[in-house]
Amino acid sequence: MKILKVIHGFPPDYMAGSEIYSYHLVKELQKQGEEVSVFSRAENQFHPNYKIYRENFDGIDILRVNKPKRDYKYSDKFFDLEMDQIFRDEVKKIQPDIIHFGHLSHLSTNLIEIAKNEFHIPVVYTIHDFWLFCVKGQMINQDGNICEKPSIENCQKCSPYIPSESEVKHSFKQINKIVDLIDIFVSPSHTLKNFFISQGVPKEKIVFSKYGFAKDKINFNKKVFTKEQKLKFGFMGRVIPVKGISTLIEAFNNMPNENISIYGNIGNEKRFLEDANIQFMGGYTNSEIGVILQNFDVLIVPSIWLENSPLVIQEAFLSGTPVITSNIGGMAELVKDKKTGFTFEVDNSKDLEKLIYKISNNPEILNSLESGEVVSIQEDVQKIRKIYKELL
């Protein structure tokens, strides 16, 4: 089969969860005999908008479209006629059998219409977050709380792009149209699957399939903890508000005898957040994850949004590192409290403190944790290929 993978960012330029997963998906598809290329974007402010870059990264043919502009209007998040034409030309050139979409942010929702209505190519869409129904992707409203539901009123009030009511109505109409055109949705969590069904997506069009991992990239090292052991806590990921950084900092500010290392890029805010027991370690590459996980004893994932299926939790499982996480969404799906890790009340620093004290005072309770289930990328891709073949 000839497959075109479409994603809003792709390594080595973009290394968040959806991009890393897309990379491993493409590499394994190639190993299993499929011909795969990638359509994505670049952000190079020194070259003109929509300049096309063709490159081969790690054996993957990639077309990147330069789109450094970030001061979007609301409608720009959904429609981009120049991007549409570049995509149209690429599909003509490649003539794929399947087009597998990931995230459409910074690209154009019209790409799905082009694939289906102009070229009559089957479309698979992996759900990475709430983006089709939330312009910010995370269903977090203007007050920093979980949004009750997408609606024209709520989205107009919440959007950082200050849209008119007619613009929001137009985007809702467009999203409903492309949702109908997508043949199969793949959801790595029940949280997102159930949400999309609640928004009118037929349940028979959504397949639950956990993210697959290149298990050989991370060494398993199950530690044995002693009662007197001093634990080292850690965080890995994007250092942004929805990741629960404020909850984390507040908890450790109240526990000066407990130490946490925070791995992830941060700007000038660092000097306002860092303390003697709160150390910011800077950014990292995907290849360093296994090593970093061995640098601390317990991973904390305190996100305040309904995360889909955090890669870092499953990477911690692969390394044998115990996990503490918020008790909502895909995080709670992965971590069974007191069985494969520990959960605390979302956005509640006092509850997090209480849990950390409990573990620190008796580290031996970590020894009873079971390893969480992680799917191999080989198994994942076999399932994806079966979906492709059924659509063809």
Domains of the chain: 2-208 (3.40.50.2000), 216-374 (3.40.50.2000)
- Cβ neighbours of residue 203 under 8 Å, at least 6 residues apart? 197
pLDDT at 4 over 90: yes
- Cβ neighbours of residue 64 under 8 Å, at least 6 residues apart? 10, 13, 40, 41, 42, 52, 53, 54, 55
Exposure string for 45-73, b = 16+ CB within 10 A, e = fewer: eeeeeeeeeeeeeeebebbbbbbeeeebe
Q: What is the pLDDT of residues 224-263, one digit of tens each?
A: 999 989 999 999 999 999 999 999 999 999 999 999 999 9
- Cβ neighbours of residue 269 under 8 Å, at least 6 residues apart? none
Mean pLDDT of 354-369: 95
Q: What is the pTM of this model?
A: 0.92
List beta partners, residue 36.
Answer: 3
CB-CB contact of 271 with 294 (8 Å)? no
Q: What is the pLDDT of residues 56-91, one digit of tens each?
A: 999 999 999 999 977 778 888 899 999 999 999 999
Torsion sign, CA atoms 250, 251, 255, 258: negative
Q: What is the pLDDT of residues 23-62, one digit of tens each?
A: 999 999 999 999 999 999 999 999 999 999 999 999 999 9
Phi, psi of 290 (to 5 degrees): -60, -40
CB-CB contact of 303 with 310 (8 Å)? yes
